[in-house]
Amino acid sequence: MALFALLFVIALLPVLTMPIPAMVDYPNHLARMYILVRDGTPQAHPFYRVTWALYPNLAMDLVVPLVARITSVELATRLFLLASQILTITGAIAVELAVKRRFQVSGFLALLVLYSVPFAWGFVNFQFALGIALWGIACWIVLQDRAWPLRLALHTLFVALLFGAHLFALGLYGFTLGIHELWRARTRKPALPTTMARFLTLALPALVAFGVMKATGGAIGQEGTAWNGQTKLLMAFATLNGYDLWLSTGGTVILVGLIGAAAMRGAVRPIQSGCWLAAGLAALFVVLPTRLFDTSFVDLRVTVAALLIVPGFIVVSPPSRAWGRLAAVAVLGVTLVNLASALTVAAIYRGEYAALVASFGQLKPGSRVLVGHSGNGEDAPLGDLSDYPMYNAATLAVAYADAFVPTLFTSIGKQPVTVIDGYRHLAVPYGGPTAMVILRDIAEGRPNADAPGYTRTWTEDFDYLYVVGPSAPNPMPGLLVPLAASARFALYRIERRRPGE
């Protein structure tokens, strides 16, 4: 336990030591928190307005503004992220204790995936909600033989929390409990009315929540769905480390090899619904699209959820002390490499984010700021994932300079923030920086079919341009005036062209 406690503290350092954690979506969320906190005051944002509705993706939007009443917005948002990480780790342990009545492997595997793709990329609402879901699963298992009113009351509470926090986490919670109840019905063979009553207990609170959402005009994202089946296996190997594809692949190979070797030696034994859950979550990973209802990487979220849930249903019994030590060293090694990677990226971006925030002093308040990428703007940049935390960082100009940035998250059904009427044509509800080759083509009058709509007349519509990504020379010296730069960004003022030029 002492080793686990030490690793637990180390795992939180990339967040504890960073004013702005190095996660691609985190700056975008932080900017939105500033808008929410200032709403209804004389300092309300000039370009964005708050539009509350019953959206199933509001965890931090509800919590952070309340905490920000007693502390800064920046600290309140970071505390929410810390709470999400703690909920995730302790929730995995709670599932294991509920099933096996002892602490064994789940806590260590939770630390191993703490900086996996969904979490290292700043999917904060999902992480917070998944932590709650893990605790809900643990409570259901503990109470599975208790009277139905108690189970229904507690289950309804968790459904309400998860519905408000993140819809996909609610889906994973319901899917896990559904598979567990199917196993229970198959193995215990209760009377049909009893089985139907148990499933009705599971389904009823969620059905009521969706009914209330529809009745009050709520929505679920913008219902965008995308399939990418040909890369599922590749992305599964890219899940374990959100900052380095090769470390992720290596760690996954070690983990899969270790599990396979343990299975062949009879060192792992599923209990209760363990086999059913492993098979069900694997099937869910295969059949789900990459994007569902505007929620990205949903299949990879299943992978991480499985690593947090299934180990709680697996009893590990090493065939020998030496074998057990070797397995422990392998898991510990992968965990330490992942944490070292996260700490390294955090150290790099501590300076980068500080320089970026300082550059906002160059912006005139109320400016319109476009974001470009010095490379091809690939999202995600699998060639160098350590570049990813800068992609959304310039959206902080929304908070620090009262600027308009088109890539601030304003997706209907996900965020309670929308753009004012006069600027909606320049906004993209969910998107990243545009490749500079596209912006150069537009500026020089060449058509480019890949150009996003809001960039078609960017030289006239925007006042400043942030170019993020690897350092590169000024791409258009006659148009862009350099104002500030660091290793991973450059700020330019856009010179207006006079008629005839």
Choose among 394, 388, 389: nearest CA to 408. Answer: 394
User: Does 22 fall in a domain?
Assistant: no
Residue after which a domain boundary falls, among 288, 317, 346: 317
Does 346 map to a domain?
A: no
Same domain membership, residue 305 and residue 368: no
Are residues 69 and 195 part of one domain?
yes
Q: How many structural domains are present in the chain?
A: 2
Q: If you count them, how many residues does the chain have?
A: 501
Contact by Cβ (8 Å): 35, 398: yes
User: Residue 105 in contact with residue 113, Cβ under 8 Å?
Assistant: no
> Same structural domain for residues 250 and 386?
no
**413 in a domain, yes or no?**
yes
Q: Distance from CA of residue 318 to its chain's centroid?
A: 34
- Say which residue the tokens 């490379």 belong to: 375
pLDDT tens, position by position, for the chain (501 residues)? Answer: 788 999 999 999 999 999 999 999 999 999 999 999 999 999 999 999 999 888 888 999 999 999 999 999 999 999 999 999 999 999 999 999 999 999 989 999 999 999 998 899 999 999 999 999 999 999 999 999 898 899 999 999 999 999 999 989 999 999 999 999 999 999 988 888 888 888 888 888 888 877 777 666 655 655 566 666 667 777 778 889 999 989 999 999 999 999 898 888 888 999 999 999 999 999 999 888 877 776 788 888 999 999 999 999 999 988 888 888 888 899 999 999 999 999 999 999 999 999 999 999 999 999 999 999 998 767 667 677 888 999 999 999 999 999 999 999 998 778 899 999 989 999 887 778 999 999 999 999 888 888 888 999 999 999 999 999 989 999 999 899 999 999 999 999 999 764 444
Domain identity same for 308 and 373:
no
pTM: 0.93
Q: Say whether both 288 and 397 belong to one domain.
A: no
Whether 499 is in a domain gets the answer: no
Give yes or no for a contact between 304 and 272, defined as CB atoms under 8 angstroms apart.
no
Q: What is residue 219's predicted lDDT score, i.e. its pLDDT?
A: 58
State residue 500's pLDDT score.
45
Compute the distance between CA of residue 283 and CA of residue 117 in angstroms, rounded to an integer: 20
Cite the beta strand spans of 321-383 per DSSP E: 369-373
One domain for residues 373 and 313? no
| 214 belongs to a structural domain | yes
* Helical residues (DSSP H) of 17-72, grouped into ranges: 26-38, 59-67
For residues 308 and 387, membership in a common domain is answered with: no
Residues 393 and 482 in one domain: yes
Cβ burial of 210 (10 Å; 0-12, 13-18, 19+) is middle
Please check whether residues 123 and 268 belong to one and the same domain. yes
Same domain membership, residue 226 and residue 80: yes
The helices-and-strands tally (H runs, E runs) of the chain is: 18, 9
Q: Among residues 263, 283, 317, which one ends one of the domains? A: 317
Q: Is residue 345 part of a domain?
A: no
* Whole-angstrom distance, CA of residue 103 vs CA of residue 440: 57
Query: Which are the contacts of 88, defined by CB distance < 8 A and separation ≥ 6?
Result: 110, 114, 119, 127, 130, 131, 134, 308
- Indicate the residue among 286, 302, 317 that finishes a domain: 317
How many C-beta atoms surround the C-beta of residue 222 within 10 A? 13
Residue at 420 is within a domain:
yes
| Domain carrying residue 269 | 52-317
**292 found inside a domain:** yes
Q: How many CA atoms lie within 13 A of 462 on its CB side?
A: 28
**Looking at the structure, do residues 131 and 260 belong to the same domain, yes or no?**
yes
- Spatial CA neighbour of 24 closest among 466, 409, 495, 339: 409
CA–CA distance, 3 with 394 (Å, rounded to integer):
39
Q: What pLDDT does residue 217 have? A: 60
Q: How far apart are CA 137 and CA 317, in angstroms?
A: 24
